[in-house]
Chain A
Amino acid sequence: DQQVKQNSPSLSVQEGRISILNCDYTNSMFDYFLWYKKYPAEGPTFLISISSIKDKNEDGRFTVFLNKSAKHLSLHIVPSQPGDSAVYFCAARKGGNQGGKLIFGQGTELSVKP
C-alpha cells in the first residue's frame, strides 16, 4: 500500500524556468511533510518541510504547497539551476510520531538543462 506517491519518475526543465514536483498521499493522519534531495552516491539531504496547519512554506528558491483537501503537495523551484538536478523525494509523518518513521514516495528525477 503506497501511502505516498510521486507519479512522475522524471522531469526535465530548462535552466531559469520553474520546476514543479508533485506528490500525493492517501493517509489523512499525516501531519508533517518533507522534501529531500538526493545526488548519486550520497544520502538524501533535507530541503524543506511543511506542517499540515499551513498551506505554503518558502525558503529561497524553494516553495512547498500543501492542499489537504486534495491530499496533494508540490515543490516549486524558481529559477531552476543545473545544480538542482537530482532525485527528489517527498516524505510524510503521521501525527503523534515526532522524530519517528517517515514514509517516502518513489522519487522524481529532475534534470535541469543549461
Chain B
Amino acid sequence: DAGVTQSPTHLIKTRGQQVTLRCSPKSGHDTVSWYQQALGQGPQFIFQYYEEEERQRGNFPDRFSGHQFPNYSSELNVNALLLGDSALYLCASSSFGTGRATNEKLFFGSGTQLSVL
C-alpha cells in the first residue's frame, strides 16, 4: 500500500520564478492538504482540496495556488518566488468519508525541499 508520495524531493529556483510541486495521496484517500514548514518551525497550513475544489485556505498569498485532479492527486503552484518561500513543502492526505471527515490522522509525504536563491 503506497503512502503519500511527493515529487520532486529537492528543488532549487531563483527569485521570481514559478514552481509546481506534486503529490499523490495514500490509496483510499480523497482529500489533500498542503503545509509549509520553515526551518525550525512547525508545519503551517496552506490549503486543502477535496472533490477538486479548494475547501479551506490558510494565511498564504494568492501566489500560492493549487489543483486537484480526478484521481485525487494534487499540485501546489507558487508564482513569483521569494527568498522567504524556501521551506519544506509537505503534502498530507486523509479521507473525507461521507461528507464528513472521518480520519483526523493526516498521513504526510516526505516533502519537497524548495530552495529559492
Contact residue range for chain A? 20 to 34
By a beta-carbon cutoff of 8 Å, the part of chain A in contact with chain B is 4, 6, 9, 32, 34, 36, 41-46, 49, 89, 91, 93, 97-107
Given A43-B90, A43-B109; A99-B42 close (CB under 8 Å) = no
Report yes or no: A98 in contact with B43, Cβ–Cβ below 8 A. Answer: no
Contacting A at CB under 8 A, from B18-64, are 31, 33, 35, 40-45, 48, 55-56, 58
Pick from B55, B92, B110: contact of A41, CB under 8 Å: B110
By a beta-carbon cutoff of 8 Å, the part of chain B in contact with chain A is 4, 31, 33, 35, 40-45, 48, 55-56, 58, 90, 92, 94-97, 100-111
> Could you say which residues of chain B place their CB within 8 Å of the CB of A43?
4, 90, 92, 108-111
Which residue on B lies nearest to A43, using beta carbons? B108
**Complex: how many Å from CA A32 to CA B106?**
13
Q: Inter-chain contact count A-B, CB under 8 Å?
A: 69
**For the complex, would chain A's binding face be called helix, strand, loop or mixed by DSSP majority?**
loop
Pick from A42, A44, A98: contact of B104, CB under 8 Å: A98
Given A93-B104, A99-B31, A100-B56; A42-B45 close (CB under 8 Å) = no
> Could you say which residues of chain A place their CB within 8 Å of the CB of B96?
99
A-B contact pairs, 11 of them (CB 8 A): A34-B105, A41-B110, A49-B105, A91-B42, A98-B102, A99-B31, A99-B100, A99-B104, A101-B45, A102-B45, A107-B40
